[in-house]
Structures are given as structure tokens and as C-alpha cells.
Chain A
Amino acid sequence: MKTITAFFGALLFALGLGFAGMTSPEVIKAFFNFQNWNPSIGIMMAVGLMIYIPSVIFAKKMKKPLAEEKFNWPEPEALSFKFFAGAILFGIAWGIGGICPGPGIVITGALSIVGPIFIISLVIGMSLATLIAKD
């Protein structure tokens, strides 16, 4: 059961990214463009959160997930120099490429060469960062 929900949850999410245009560097950059603004990504996020936030509230009341033993709530990040530097660098990279990890995988699935180029570069960057310092 949990195998099926993992697969379909991700599938729905991926379709959502594709439909909203999160997989398009043009659409992403247009969201950040002051002159020619395209709010699509913001609308996607807002609508998504309108559904996800109630799920979070409901989940916190549940004893256990429907198909698993327990919830895996992520630990908060320490607000360190590394954290801030990372976020700044992330944003710069996002502005340069207009692609981020999830959409990168979706693009890969669509057999566009842009996908693997992005993801492999991403993994190389993550590897280097891991070698430099723990996150």
C-alpha cells in the first residue's frame, strides 16, 4: 500500500509541476521578472498550500500515517552562516538556470537532455558540498 501511495503521490506532484510550468525555465524566470511578471508559479504554490496545509494540520492529529508506522517530521535547520549562504546560492542558481531539483527529474522523465545535464550537475555539486562540510 505504502509503495503505491509513494508512487502515485510523486506522480501527482510531478504532473502538477508540469501543468503549472514549473518545468519551464521561461515560466520560472518570468515569475521573478519585475518587468514582465508571470504569476503562474506563485498561483501554483498558493493553491498547493491551500490543500497541503490542512493536510499537515490533520496529520498532526493522527496517531500514525495511513500506511506507515510513524510520521517522519523533518528536523528544523539551524540558522547558521552555512544555511544562509546556502539559501542565497540556491536562489542565484535558480535565477541562472530556472530549474530546480523536482522539475529537473520531471524533465528527465520527459527525455529532454536538459534533465540529466541538470540533475548530474546537481549531484556533483551536492557531492562536493558534502565533502567540504556536513550540512
Chain B
Amino acid sequence: MESIPYLYPILGGVLIGLGASLLLLANGKSLGFTGILKSIFRFPGKKLRLFQVMVLAGTLVGGVIIGFIKPESLPDVGNINLPLVALAGFLMGIGSHFAGGCTSTHGFCGTGRGDKDSIIAVIIFMITAAITVNLMS
């Protein structure tokens, strides 16, 4: 199995495709994690319904499973700069608010719908991410 190139990214892609498709075809909704978090944390104007709670629960349980069956996919705590993670999270909170979403919102679902604003957002944040990574390395 390990000899199939990029087996895990391919499998991962199948799973995210299926998961997002299920949410769309059954629940009629797009998946956007910043939106989910805003509902959970009771941001103004964001309704908290069972849907958001179930999405959060499913995502967390997915994490529990990954912790058991593919822990190497998780960040290496011994080798990570936690203050930098906090800074990144903080900046991403601001950025995602004004961009109207994150990688799942724009990068996946929005792009999947062919929404121009999402595609533009993805192109911009991929370019700036690449510049940042290459400047920092």
C-alpha cells in the first residue's frame, strides 16, 4: 500500500470530497469552518443550530480517530513554536473575517461551486502563503 505514490493525499481527497458532498446533498449546506466556529462561539448574526454542533462534533471525533490511526499527521509538539502558532491563529482570525471564510469555505466549497470571489481569495492566499513560507525558511 505504501508503494502507491501519494496514496494518503488521494485517500484524503476522496474523504473530503465525500464528506463535503454529503453535507451539501443531504443538509443543503456548504462547509466553512470559520462559520461553524462563529456559530459555536455565538458571534453576532450567526445562528447556532444543531447542524453546527454536529459538524463540530464530527470534526472533533475525526480528530480523535486521526490521533489513534495516523498521529504522524499531527503537529510535532516537540518541534513547534507555540507562540508563533498563537500569532498565526490570531492573524488568521482577522484575515478570515474580512475574507469571508477560510480554506474550506473558499478553497474547497467556494472553488467547487465556481464562485469567482472564492477562487480569487484562494489564489491570493496561496500566493501570500507561499511568499511567507519561502521568506521564513
Q: How far is the CA of A8 from the CA of B43 in the complex (A)?
A: 25
Secondary structure of the A contact surface, majority rule: helix
In contact, A109 and B60 (Cβ under 8 angstroms): yes
In contact, B115 and A76 (Cβ under 8 angstroms): yes
**A24-B74, A32-B129, A85-B98 known; A10+B93 contact, CB < 8 A:** no
In contact, A67 and B100 (Cβ under 8 angstroms): no
In the assembled complex, the CB of B59 is this many whole angstroms from the nearest CB of chain A, namely 4
Q: How many residues of B contact A (CB 8 A)?
A: 108
A residues near B41, Cβ cutoff 8 Å: 123, 126-127
**A12-B22, A29-B133, A68-B28 known; A129+B94 contact, CB < 8 A:** yes
Query: Among B17, B58, B67, B91, which residue has its beta carbon within 8 angstroms of that of A93?
Result: B91
Query: Among B8, B54, B126, B127, which residue has its beta carbon within 8 angstroms of that of A40?
Result: B8
**A7-B54, A39-B6, A90-B102 known; A15+B93 contact, CB < 8 A:** no
* Total contacts A-B at CB 8 Å: 489
In contact, B85 and A13 (Cβ under 8 angstroms): no
In contact, B22 and A112 (Cβ under 8 angstroms): no
**A39-B6, A125-B97 known; A95+B13 contact, CB < 8 A:** no
In contact, B94 and A125 (Cβ under 8 angstroms): yes
Residues of B within 8 A of A (CB): 6, 8-34, 37-38, 41, 43-44, 50-51, 54-67, 70-77, 80, 82, 84-105, 107-118, 120-121, 124-134, 136-137
Residues of A within 8 A of B (CB): 1-3, 5-27, 29, 32-35, 39-41, 43-53, 55-56, 58-59, 62, 64-74, 76-79, 82-102, 104-115, 117-130, 133, 135
